[in-house]
DNA sequence: AGCAACCATTCATCTAGATTAACAAATGAC
DNA sequence: GTCATTTGTTAATCTAGATGAATGGTTGCT
């Protein structure tokens, strides 16, 4: 048994829900610390900075788990907003489901794999943000998430990459001309 | 028992070694995927980009574990260099010590906490890189790692922050004047 | 259908931080 | 100690990408 959905559902704590495109699941500042497993659809998590600008932290499509790990680990108010980019089917887990002390051995193992995978993705993201140009980051994004561009507006990809929509548009124009 | 050193040493697979300041523990491109627990001293991990520029990914002082999680998770050649910034006492673990399948329950739990903590730190780092100015990142660094500035050359802090040493010097000048 | 909101593109301008360079201070090797 | 290397600082330019604004294309609401 290595299906995430099965493993997480072992204790039947997850609540199955449908969420409409545009609905908000978590608001920064609130105390609600839940995790969302995406059975179908697409979510995003993001911050809003002091100037009111959105910065997308991650996208989560089918089979992904999205949560504000930082707030949960340090027991702080949420820093991330989470909302639906498509009508989605979710399983919602509350904090206690992920309390390491409470987990069974298969859950612990699955959890360790999930975290390791996530850490690996973040390691790459940090390195890209520090060392690569906007164009390189865009090309890396296309390679890593080839299906997302069809489902996500340009401006959100720009937000994920850490550039403005205008800059991304210019980059795309440059790449199109080149080929 | 929640001391990392004890937990990790349960199976006696860790090798205790002393490493001199300046010595290299891991080279990007090599296959050696080990983890280093710092008993004493200070390590760093970093990449070198296509233009030959170094980018520090993390510092690890007493009690920290440093490793190239991305390469290990995806079973690739190392992407990070790891070396000593001070004479250090280390415990070196090889890959198999962290194979999730092999771990005992207390090791699994410790591992989950370690990864969650690391993920949380990386989440914050990504958000800072996307949304904060160089000066804000520097101030956040000082708050988060108040002891490191005394042990690490300025230029390495700049590298960690993703700016040039000149830019950091200017920021420091500006902050000093202000206060 | 008709209107409003949102979205992507293009262009002109601006700015944070990179680059280059010169110099002083600290560190280390012998 | 002396000399060489590395480090931090300051200042003059340069540039990737931000900002602001105008335009046309989509999407969605009623």
Cα–Cα dist B37/B4, whole Å: 9
| Predicted confidence band of residue B88 (pLDDT cuts 50, 70, 90) | very high
Which residues of chain A neighbour B67 with C-beta distances below 8 Å?
A: none
* Three-class secondary structure assignment of chain A: CCCHHHHHHCCCCCEEEEECCCCEEECCCCCCCEEEEEEECEEEEEEECCCCCEEEEEEEECCCEECCHHHHHCCCCCCCEEEECCCEEEEEEEHHHHCHHHCCHHHHHHHHHHHHHHHHHHHHHHHHHHHCCHHHHHHHHHHHCCCHHHCCCHHHHHHHHCCCHHHHHHHHHHHHHHC
Residue A1: its pLDDT value, please? 45
Query: How would residue B1 be classed by pLDDT, with cut points 50, 70 and 90?
Result: very low
Banded pLDDT at A6 (limits 50, 70, 90): low
**Least CA distance to A58: which residue of chain B?**
B123
Tell me the mean pLDDT in the region B63-77.
Answer: 90
Residue A53: closest C-alpha in chain B: B131
Residues in chain A closer than 8 A to B131 (CB atoms): 47, 49, 53, 55
Asked if the model's pLDDT at residue A3 lies above 80, the reply is: no
Q: What topology does CATH give the domain B4-101? A: Jelly Rolls (2.60.120)
Give the per-residue pLDDT at B8: 63
Q: In the A/B pair of chains, how many CB contacts fall below 8 A?
A: 112
In the prediction, which pLDDT does A2 show?
53
| Helix and strand totals (H; E) in chain B | 6, 8
Chain B contact for A53 (CB, 8 A cutoff)? yes
Q: How many CA atoms lie within 13 A of A88 on its CB side?
A: 28
Q: Are strands B81-84 and A81-84 parallel, antiparallel or unpaired?
A: unpaired
Residue B95 has pLDDT above 80, yes or no: no
Position B9 pLDDT exceeds 50: yes
Residue written as tokens 């690569």?
A132
Which chain C positions come under 7 Å from a protein C-beta?
7-12, 16-21
Mean per-residue pLDDT, A119-123? 95
Contact between the CB of A63 and strand C at under 7 Å: no
pLDDT of A4 > 80? The answer is no
Per-domain residue ranges of chain A: 4-98
| DSSP E strand boundaries for chain B | 15-19, 24-26, 34-40, 42-48, 54-61, 65-66, 81-84, 88-94
Cα distances from B101 to residues A54, A109, A110, B98, in angstroms, run 40, 7, 10, 8
Residue A13 CB in 7 A reach of strand C: no
Q: B97: pLDDT confidence band, cut at 50, 70 and 90?
A: confident
Tell me the average pLDDT across A21-50. 92
At residue B50, the pLDDT reads 87
Residue among B93, B31, B30, B88 at smallest CA distance from B59: B88
pLDDT tens-digit series, residues B122-157: 999 999 999 999 999 999 999 999 999 999 999 999
Find the CB nearest A74 among B118, B120, B122: B120
Q: What percentage of chain A exceeds 90 in pLDDT? A: 69
Q: Is the pLDDT of residue A124 over 60?
A: yes
Whether CB of B167 is under 7 Å from strand C: the answer is yes
Reference A176, options A131, A139, A151; nearest CA is: A139
The whole-chain average pLDDT of chain B stands at 90
3-state SS class at B175? helix
Kindly determine whether the C-beta of residue A155 is less than 7 Å away from any atom of nucleic acid strand C.
yes
Exposure string over B110-135, b if 16+ CB within 10 A, otherwise e: bbbbbbbebbbbbbebbbbbbbbebb
CATH 2.50.20.10 corresponds to the domain A4-98: no
**Does any CB of chain A come closer than 8 Å to the CB of residue B99?**
no
Reading the block at residue A51, the tokens are: 């100037």
Q: Give mean pLDDT, residues B15-33.
A: 90
pLDDT tens sequence across A48-76: 998 889 999 999 999 999 999 889 888 89
DSSP 8-state symbol, B1: -
The footprint of strand D (CB < 7 Å) covers A 51, 53, 133-135, 162-164, 166-167; B 153-155, 165-166, 168-170, 172-173
Chain B interface disruption, residue of A7, A58, A131, most B CBs within 10 A:
A131
Tokens of B36: 């280093």
**Listed residue (B97, B90, B31) closest to B65, CA to CA:** B90
Q: What residues of B are in contact with residue A70 (Cβ under 8 Å)?
A: 119-121, 123-124
A165 CA to C19 C1' in angstroms comes to 27
- pLDDT tens for each residue of B104-118: 888 888 888 889 999
């Amino acid at each position: 048994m290595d299906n995430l959905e099965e493993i997480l559902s072992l204790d039947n704590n997850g609540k199955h829900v449908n969420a409409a495109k545009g609905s908000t699941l978590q608001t920064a500042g609130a105390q609600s610390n839940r995790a969302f497993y995406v059975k179908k659809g697409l979510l995003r998590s993001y911050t809003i900075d002091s100037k009111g600008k959105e910065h997308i932290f991650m996208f989560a499509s089918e089979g992904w788990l999205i949560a504000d790990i930082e707030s949960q680990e340090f027991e702080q108010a949420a820093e991330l907003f989470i909302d639906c980019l498509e009508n989605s089917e979710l399983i919602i887990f509350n904090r206690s489901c992920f309390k390491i002390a409470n987990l069974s051995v298969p859950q612990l193992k699955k959890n360790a794999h999930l975290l390791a995978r996530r850490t690996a993705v973040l390691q790459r993201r940090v390195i890209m943000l520090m060392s690569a140009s906007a164009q390189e980051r865009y090309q890396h994004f296309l390679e890593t998430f080839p299906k997302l561009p069809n489902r996500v507006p340009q401006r959100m990809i720009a937000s994920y990459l850490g550039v403005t929509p205008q800059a991304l548009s210019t980059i795309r124009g440059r790449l199109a001309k080149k080929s």
